[in-house]
Amino acid sequence: MIDISPSVMQFLLAFIVAGPLLGALAALLPPPPGLKGRSPEQAVLRHGVTVTGAVLAAAVALTLGFDHDTPARFQATTDISWIQALNVRIHLGVDGISLPLLLMTALLFFLCALYSYFKLPAGPSPKAFVSLLLVLESGTLATFAVLDLLLFFLAFEMVLIPMYFLIARWGGDQRQAAAWRFILFTLLGSVVMLLGLLLIGINSGTFDMVALATDNGRELTYTTQLVAAAAIGLGLAVKTPMWPLHSWLPDAHTAAPTVGSVLLAGVLLKMGTYGFVRILLPVTPDGMQTLAPYLAAFAAVGIVYGSLACLALTRKGAKGDLKRLIAYSSVGHMGFVLLGIATMTPTGVNGALFANIAHGLITGLLFFMVGALKDRWGTSDLDTLAGATGAALYGRAPRMGALLAFAAVASLGLPGLAGFWGEMLALFGAFEPAEGLSRPAFLTFMAIGAFGTLLTAAYLLIVVRRVCMGDPHARPDAAPAVLADVHGYEFAAWTPLVALTVLAGLWPAILLGLTDPAVQKLLAGGNA
Amino acid sequence: MTALLTTAAGPGASLVQTVDWLAIAPATLPAVVAVVVLIADLFLDRRGKPVLGWISIAGLAASLALLLPLRSGDRSTFCLADAPTACSYTADQFTLVIQFLVLAGALLTALLSVTGAREGSLPAGEFWFLLLSSAAGAALLPASRDLATLIVALEVASLPAFALVGLRRGDRLSSEAALKFFLSSVTATAVSLLGVSFVYAATGTLHLTQVADRLEEVPAQLDTLAMAGVALTLIGFAFKTAAVPFHFWVPDTYVGAPLPIAGYLSVVGKAVGFTGLILVTVIAFPSYSDIWGPALAVLAALTMTIGNAAALRQAPDRAHSAVRLLAWSSVGQAGYLLVPIAAAAYSERDAIGSTVAYALMYAVVNLGAFAVAALVARTAPANRISDYRGLYARRPLTALALAFFLLCLAGLPPGIIGLFAKVVVFQSAVDAGLGWLAVVMAVNVVVALYYYLQWTAVLFRAPKAAEEAAAATTAPAATATVTPTAAPARIPVPISVAIAVTGVVAVVLSGAPEAVLRYAATSLFPQ
C-alpha cells in the first residue's frame, strides 16, 4: 500500500522475529534508571507491553509495506547461510499466507501483554512471566516467518518450554499434570515431524521451503513423499490438534492462565495448520493426496466429536468447565480447517486459512471472556455459574453479556461475522475436492461437517442461555454480590478482536485477496 | 624447528628417524609437566601443594596453545626411513581436533579437581601426576599411526585412570570401582593385543596404512587369522567407548570415582576409545569393512538402546542417581558416537567427521553437566536427582546452565547444537543406507528425551522445604513463601569457571553450530 524500501522491509521482518527474544533477555535485567516505574513489577509488565507493542507496530508497518498486488511472492526476504554442513539457511520471508497470521499473532500478544499489565495471573515473579511471554512470541512469529524446514522445526519447538512454564507456574488446578501432558504430546509429535523433515531434506538435498515448494515434490519418490507426509502430518496434527490426538488440549486449556489459553488457542494451534499448508501441500503433494481422505475423515469426526463433547458439558449437572468447553469447541473448529486443507483445492485451503484467522480472533475473545468470568466468580464451572436459572449476565452486567453473546454467535458461524466464511469455504471445497480424491467420500465428510455446524450452534446457544440469561434477582450462592461489568482494560483488550471479527465477516476479500494468489501458486508449484 | 638426529651411519640406510618436536609437543608437554609435578610434590609442604594444581592447569593450557602452530595439519614424524609415507605420528586435522578435545577436557577436569585436591579429599601430587599422564596418553593416541604406538597410547591413557578412580582415600566403593574397572579393562587390552599380534602375523607390518594395503592381499591360508585379528583388535577399543556388551563397568566406576574423574572418563576416556576405533577401522582395516561395519552398526544400536533403557530406570531418590543417570546416558551417547563409524563402512571414511562433531558437542555439555553435579555434590554428597529439586530457586544460573546441558544432550531446542549434532549423525546413517539404524536412533532419542526432561523439570520445581511451608500455611500466602531458606554456600571459583566456560561455549555453539559441524562436512584425513 505504501512504498517501503526492501531493506527496511527486511529489517522489519527480522525485528519481528528477533525483537521479542531480545526483549525477553532485557526483561531479566534490572530496569534502567528513568524507567523504574512505580515498582519493579510494574516496570517489567510495562516493558512487556512496550516490546509487544513495538512488534505489533512493526507488523502493521510490514503489512502496509507489503506489495498487495503480488501476494504470492515472498517479500521482505532475508537469506543467510547458517550451517553449511547441513545446508541450513536463515531464510525469512512473508507472503499472503503468512502475513495475516503474523499480524494476528503480533496483535494477540500485544493484547495479552496489555491484559496482563492490569490483571497478572497469580504465580511467581512477573519478570519470568514477561520474559516467557516474549520468548513464546518470538517462537510463534518465527514459525510463520521462516522458510527453512529445520528453522521451522526450531521455531516450532521454541514455544514448548515457555508454554510449559506458563501453564505449570501460572496455571490453575492440576497444572503440573496438564503441563507435563502438553509437553509430552507435542514433543513426541514433533520428533516424528523432525524425522519427516529430515527425510525430505536428505532426499532432496535442500531444506529450503521455497525451493522445495517450487519443485513440488518432483525430486522425491512417491514412497518418500508418503512417509514424510505421514510423519510431518502426525507432528502437526498433534499440535493442531486433530481428533484423536487432541486429548492434551482440554487439560492444558483448563489449567492454563487466561493469557495462556488465549495464546494457545489463538496462535499455537495455528502453527499446526500453517505447517500443513506451507509444507505438506506443496512439498509432498503425492503423499498428501493419498493421506487427504484420512485427514478429512479425522477432521469430520473431530468436528462432530468436539461439538458432542461440548454439548455434554453444557448439560445441567455435568460440572462442565467453560474453559474446557471452549477447548473442545476448538477441536471442532480446527476440524473445519483440516477439512479445508484436505480437499487440496484453492477454495478449501483459502477457507482453511480464513477459518484459522477467524478462530484465532473469536476463540481468543472467548477465552478472554471466560477468564474474566472466572476472575469474577472464582470458577468457570458452568453449573456453579448458572445456578438454578442462569447467570443473568444480561441483567447484571449487560456489556459483558452482550460481548459474550457476540463471541458465541461469531463462533457458531453467523453470516456477517468472521466465523462464517472460513467454514463455509471449507465445506464448499469438500463439495468438489481436488482431482484424484474420491468425491463421494468428501461429500459424506461435507455432510458430517454441515451437521457439525448445527451441533456447534446448539451448544453455543445453550451456553448463552445459561450464562447470559436468567433471573438477575435469583442470585445463586456462588455469585459475587456486586458483579463488575467490563473494565476499561478489558475493553481495550477485547475491542480490537470484536472489530476485526466484524471486519473480516463483512469484508472477507481483505483476507482472501491476500491468501488466494499465494494458495493458487502453492498448489500449482512452480507452474504458476 | 625440526631437530635432526643424525648419526655417523651411511646415507640412505639410516634406521634413525627424524623427530619433529613441535608436532609431538602437545602430547609430550603433559607428560613432562606430570614428571615435574611428581618431583615438585616431594619438595613442597602441605601449604605449597595447591601450586601443583595450578602448574598442571598451566601445563594443559600450554599444550592446548601448542596446537595452534600445527593448525595447517600437514606434519608427520617418526616416519620409516625406507618408506617416508609410513609414519608413526601424524598431526593431521583429525589428530588436532581430537587432541584439542582431549586436552580441553583434561583442563576442565583439572579445574573441577582443584578444590577437591586443596581440601585434601584427594592426594595432590599423585592426583595431578596421574591426570597429566593419562592426558598425555590420550593426546598421543589420535596421532598414532601404527598399532604398537596405538596400544601403548591406549595403556598410557588407561593405567593412570585406574588409579584415579581408586584415589578417594578410605572409600571402599572407590577401590572396588577401581578394581572392577582395572580387571575388565586389562582383559580387553589383552584381547586387543592378541588381535594386533594376529594382524602383524598376517601382514608383517604395524603401520596402519601398510596394514591396510597388505590386508587386501592376504594369502588364503592366513585369511582367518587376519579376520580374527581384526575382530579382536576392535574389542579393546569398543571396551573403552563403553559399548555394549563392554559397558557394565561404567555405572559403578563413575559412582565410585571422584566426580571430576567420572566426567573425565565419560569424555576423554570415551574419546580415546572411539579415536582408536576410527583409526583401526577406517585407516587400518578398510578392506574388512564388511565385517566391522555390520558389527559396529549392531553394537551402536545395542549400546544406545541398553544405555537409554537403563537410564530410564534410574529412580530419582536412590543414592548417586544423578551420577548413575549420567553414566547410563553416556553409554547411550556412545551409541550415537558409533553410528557414523559404522556408516563409514558403507559409504566413505569421511563419515567419521560426524562422530568428531558429535564428540565435540558431547564433550562440552557432558563436562558441563558433571561440573554442576560436582557443585551439587558439595552440599548433597548422596547426589540424588531429587537433590536437584528447586536448584533454580537456590542457584538460578547454575540451574539454567544444567538445564541447557541436559537439553543439549537430549537434542531439544534451545539446545540447538545438540539437535544438529544428532542430525549430522542421523544423516550419516541415512546416507550410508543404514535406514534401520537411523530409526533405532530416532526411537532412542525420543526415549532419552523423557529422562533428560524429567531431570530438567525437577530443577525448576519449588524446593521441598518451601512447598511444605506453603502447604502448612493457608493458600493465599502460598505464593510468597518461595524464598530460599538459607543463603547458599559460596561456589569455589574454579568450579564456577568450569561451569561458565562450558555454558558459554554451549550457548555460542548453539548460535553458530557451524563451528563444530563443519567437521562433519570436510575430510579430516589427508587424501
pLDDT in tens, A24-44: 988 888 877 777 777 888 888
Q: Which residue has the cell 552398526?
A: B297
How many Å apart are CA B230 and CA B223, to the nearest integer? 11
Residue A74 dihedral angles phi and psi, to the nearest 5°: -75, 130
Contact between A58 and A141 under an 8 Å Cβ cutoff? The reply is no
The amino acid present at A251, given as its one-letter code, is D
Chain B nearest CA to A178, separation (Å): 14
Whether pLDDT at A484 is above 80: no
Could you tell me the CA-to-CA distances from B495 to A103, A469, B92, B110, B371 in Å, in that order?
Answer: 47, 65, 33, 10, 7
Q: Which residues of B touch A88 (CB under 8 A)?
A: 420
How big is the A-B interface in CB pairs under 8 Å?
57
How much is the pLDDT for B488? 59
Q: Would you say residue A254 has pLDDT above 70?
A: yes
Does residue B476 carry a pLDDT above 50?
A: no
> Do the Cβ atoms of A85 and B517 come within 8 Å?
yes
The residue to which cell 499434570 is assigned: A177
Tell if the CB–CB gap between A85 and B419 is shorter than 8 Å.
Answer: no
Q: Give me the helix-helix angle, A149-158 and B416-431, nearest 10°.
A: 140
Buried b (16+ CB within 10 A) or exposed e, A280-299: bbbbbbbbbbbbbbebbbbb
Separation between Cα atoms, residue A414 and residue A426, nearest integer Å: 15
On chain A, the residues whose CB falls within 8 A of the CB of B513 are 82-83
Pairing outcome for strands B87-91 and B75-79:
antiparallel
How far apart are alpha carbons B458 and B316 in whole angstroms? Answer: 10
In this structure, the dihedral spanned by the alpha carbons of residues B468, B469, B473 and B478, taken in order and rounded to 10 degrees, is: -90
Residues of A in contact with B460 (CB under 8 A): 165
Rounded-to-integer distance, Cα A120 and Cα A123, Å: 8
For residues B185 and A356, the model is more confident at A356
Instruction: Provide the pLDDT for residue B492.
Output: 85
Nearest-CA residue of chain B relative to A168? B461
Across the interface, whether the CB atoms of B427 and A198 are under 8 A apart is answered yes
Min distance A85 CA to chain B CA atoms (Å):
5
Residues of chain A with a CB closer than 8 angstroms to some CB in chain B: 82-86, 88, 122-124, 150, 154, 157-158, 161, 165, 180, 183-184, 187-188, 191, 195, 198-199, 202
Pairwise CB contact (< 8 Å): B445 & A84: no
- Please write the tens of the pLDDT for every residue from A125-145: 888 889 999 999 999 999 999
Q: Is the confidence at residue B479, as pLDDT, over 50?
A: no
Whether A191 sits inside 8 A of B520 (CB atoms) is: no
Cell readout for A54 is 513495538
Distance from CA of A194 to the nearest CA of B (A): 9
Most confident by average pLDDT, A81-85, A115-119, B167-171, B304-308 = B304-308
Dump pLDDT digits (tens) for B307-351: 999 998 888 788 888 999 999 999 999 999 999 999 999 888 888
**Cross-chain residue pair A180–B423, CB shorter than 8 Å:** no
DSSP reduced 3-state for A381: strand
| Least Cα separation, residue A295 to chain B (angstroms) | 25
Which residues in chain A are closer than 8 Å to B457, comparing Cβ atoms?
180
pLDDT tens-digit map of B9-39:
444 446 677 788 888 999 999 999 999 999 9
Separation between Cα atoms, residue A381 and residue A365, nearest integer Å: 18
- Residue B289 pLDDT more than 50? yes
Mean pLDDT of chain B: 85
Which of residues B478 and A479 earns the better pLDDT score? A479
Q: Return d(Cα B505, Cα B386) in angstroms, integer.
A: 27
Residues in contact with A151: Cβ distance below 8 Å, sequence separation at least 6, in sequence order? A82, A88, A89, A90, A91, A142, A207
In angstroms, the CA B275 to CA A517 distance is 55
Residue B480 has pLDDT above 50, yes or no: no
Q: How far is A124 from chain B (nearest CA, A)?
A: 7
Looking at residue B387, what is its pLDDT? 86
Determine the Cα–Cα distance for residues A280 and B318; give it in Å rounded to an integer. 46
Helices (H), B76-171: 93-118, 124-140, 147-165
8 A C-beta contact, residue B193 and residue B151: yes
Residue with cell 601398510: B210
Shortest CA distance to A263 belongs to which of A337, A363, A114?
A363
Q: B-side interface with A, Cβ within 8 Å? A: 357, 412-414, 416, 419-420, 423-424, 426-427, 430-431, 442, 445-446, 449-450, 453, 457, 460, 479, 482, 513-514, 517-518, 520-521
Q: Which residue of B has its CA nearest to A170?
A: B479
Site from B356, B392, B420, B455 to mutate, A interface, most A CB atoms within 10 angstroms: B420
pLDDT the model gives residue B449: 87
The pLDDT value recorded for residue A528 is: 43
* Residues in chain A within 8 Å Cβ distance of B521: 84-85
Choose, out of B423, B508, B517, B523, the residue to mutate when testing the contact with A (most A CBs < 10 Å).
Answer: B423
Residues of B in contact with A150 (CB under 8 A): 420, 423
**Percentage of residues in chain A having pLDDT higher than 70:** 97
What confidence tens digit (pLDDT) does each residue in B144-163 have? 998 999 999 998 998 898 88
Strand, coil or helix: B79: strand
In this complex, the residue of B423, B442, B446 whose CB is nearest that of residue A86 is: B423
Considering chain A, what is the average pLDDT of its residues?
A: 88
Taking residues A396-405, report their average pLDDT: 88
Indicate the range of A438-452, A465-479, A511-525, B5-19 predicted with least confidence: B5-19
* Chain A residue whose CA is closest to B457: A180
Model confidence band, residue A381 (pLDDT cutoffs 50, 70, 90): confident
**Average pLDDT score over residue span B50-72:** 91
Whether B249 contacts B180, CB under 8 Å: yes
CA–CA min distance A270, chain B (Å)? 20
Radius of gyration for the alpha carbons in chain A, expressed in angstroms and rounded? 22
CB contact under 8 Å between B521 and A191, yes or no, is no
The reported pLDDT for the residue numbered A32 is: 78
The span from the CA of A330 to the CA of B36, in Å, is 72
Question: Among A28, A29, A84, A86, which would you mutate to test the B interface (most chain B Cβ atoms within 10 Å of its Cβ)?
Answer: A86
**Closest approach of A158 to chain B, Cα-based (Å):** 6
Cα A237 to Cα A250: distance, rounded to the nearest angstrom: 15
What are the backbone dihedrals phi and psi of residue B38, each rounded to the nearest 5 degrees, phi first? -60, -40
Would you call A83 and B413 a contact, using CB atoms and an 8 Å cutoff? Answer: no
Average pLDDT over residues B264-273: 91
A381 pairs with which residues across the strands? A321
Model confidence at B252, pLDDT cuts 50, 70, 90, reads confident
Q: Which of A27-41, B95-109, B442-456 has the lowest mean pLDDT?
A: A27-41
Would you list the DSSP string of A188-238? HHHHHHHHHHHHHHHHHS--BHHHHHHHTTTTS-HHHHHHHHHHHHHHHHH
Distance from CA of A123 to the nearest CA of B (A): 6
- Reported confidence tier of residue A525, pLDDT bands at 50, 70, 90: low
- Of the pLDDT bands very low, low, confident and very high (cuts 50, 70, 90), residue A301 is very high
pLDDT at B486 over 80: no
Asked if residue A131 lies in contact with residue A161, where contact means CB atoms within 8 angstroms, the answer is: no
Q: Residue B3 pLDDT > 50, yes or no? A: no
Q: What pLDDT is attached to residue B60?
A: 95
- Under the banding of pLDDT at 50, 70 and 90, the label for residue A479 is low
Q: Do A85 and B449 touch (CB under 8 A)?
A: no
What pLDDT score was predicted for residue A478? 63
For residue B75, give the H/E element and its range: strand B75-79
Q: Spell out a b/e string for B481-516, using b for 16 or more CB atoms within 10 Å of the CB, else e.
A: bbeeeeeeeebbebbbbbbebbbebbbebbeebbeb
Cis peptide before A244 (omega within 30 of 0): yes
| All three cell numbers of A384 | 456453579
Are the beta carbons of B427 and A202 separated by less than 8 Å? yes
Please give the backbone phi and psi of residue A315, each rounded to the nearest 5 degrees, phi first: -65, 150
Per-residue pLDDT at A507 exceeds 50: yes
pLDDT at A508 over 70: yes
* pLDDT greater than 60 at residue B473: no
Burial readout B170-194 (b: 16 or more C-beta within 10 A, e: otherwise): ebeebbebbebbbebbeebbebbbb
Alpha carbon distance B454, A109 (integer Å): 29
- Report whether the peptide linkage leading into residue A241 is cis, meaning its omega lies within 30 degrees of zero: yes
Q: What is the pLDDT of residue B371?
A: 93
pLDDT at residue B126 above 50? Answer: yes
For residue B491, what pLDDT is reported? Answer: 80
Coil, strand or helix: which one is A89? Answer: strand
Average pLDDT over residues B356-385: 90
Comparing CB atoms, the residue among B413, B424, B518 nearest residue A154 is B413
Question: How large is the average pLDDT for residues A217-242?
Answer: 88
- Asked if residue A434 lies in contact with residue A347, where contact means CB atoms within 8 angstroms, the answer is no
Spatial contact of A410 and A419, defined as CB atoms under 8 Å apart:
yes
What pLDDT digit, counting tens, does each position of A152-207 carry?
999 988 888 899 888 888 888 788 888 888 888 888 888 889 889 988 888 888 88
Cβ-contact B196, B243 below 8 angstroms: no
